Amino acid sequence: MSQPVGSHPAARRPAADPSHRRPFSGQGLALGILTLISPLCLVLCFWQGPWTDAAFAAVACSFPVALMLLGASRRGRFAVAGWAILGLGVLLLGVMAGLFRWRGQGVDGPWWGGLPPAAAIQLYGIFVLPLILTCTAYAWTFDRHFLDPEALRSLRRDFPEPKVPEAR
């Protein structure tokens, strides 16, 4: 006898109980950040001023961090992933500050890893370091992304593989 999809106990998630909500919500924080920075990003695109480059860079770095916080909070993993995502936001803001600090100093200044400082900060800070951090975090939490062996055995017992008719 076949069961409807999603009715197996291993596949079901318990309904959220509103009485157990904490006053601080990662989803509220992420939605608040997105609500503030979305129009601010649009305004800064068209505004000319001495500080708009740095402000736009800070807003642009905050946007993907807020989206990641929203995703983590919707899956109920804000307590675990929230601090790592906020750390990534601080790292991106630091990289942007370094870019603005070393902007315009190319061939004359010191070289870092064979590159001018701003290019080295951009390459290593925006691409390489977050890639290493993301891969490391995924490797540490790899076992949480799959069913445990008992739940997998239960699913295989309750939902056997369908028999495929042989070709003529």
pLDDT tens for each residue of 69-120: 888 777 666 666 777 778 888 888 888 888 888 777 766 767 878 888 888 8
Q: Measured over all CA atoms, what is the biggest interatomic distance in the chain, rounded to whole angstroms?
A: 76
The confidence band for 155, taking pLDDT boundaries of 50, 70 and 90, is confident
State the pTM of this model.
0.57
Mean pLDDT, the chain, integer: 76
Cα separation values, 51 from 56, 136, 158, Å = 9, 36, 62
Say whether pLDDT at 7 is over 70: no
pLDDT of residue 101: 81
